[in-house]
Amino acid sequence: MEQALLGKIDEALAEIRPMAEKSFEPALSIERQLAWCRTFLLKGTGENRPGPFSMGLIAVREFDMYGDRPELAALINEVQRAMQAILGKP
């Protein structure tokens, strides 16, 4: 399961990073959270967690409400749900 989740995180990061590189604030926040998830899965450490997960909400607001990238929003939400399950958080 973790390998599949890592693949989804990498897929989401590949789409988010170009937006983050342009200093798009919502993308920067999502990128930080995805990067933390990736590090946690690879190293098993939860140090410096970037606060409570909000990447799913941000993604829906920024990429799905107007229909421009609903698949990206769905992917980010899937990652968030999986990480919350791993961490034992609702």
pLDDT at 90: 52
Percent of the chain's residues with pLDDT above 90: 76
pLDDT at 44: 83
pLDDT at 77: 97
pLDDT at 46: 66
**Among the listed ranges 2-11, 57-66, 71-80, which one has the minimum average pLDDT value?**
57-66
Percent of the chain's residues with pLDDT above 70: 94
Average pLDDT, the chain: 91
Cβ-in-10-Å burial (0-12, 13-18, 19+) of 47 comes to exposed
Cβ-in-10-Å burial (0-12, 13-18, 19+) of 88 comes to exposed
**DSSP characters for 17-73?**
HHHHHTT-HHHHHHHHHHHHHHHHHHH---TT--SS--HHHHHIIIIITTSSSHHHH
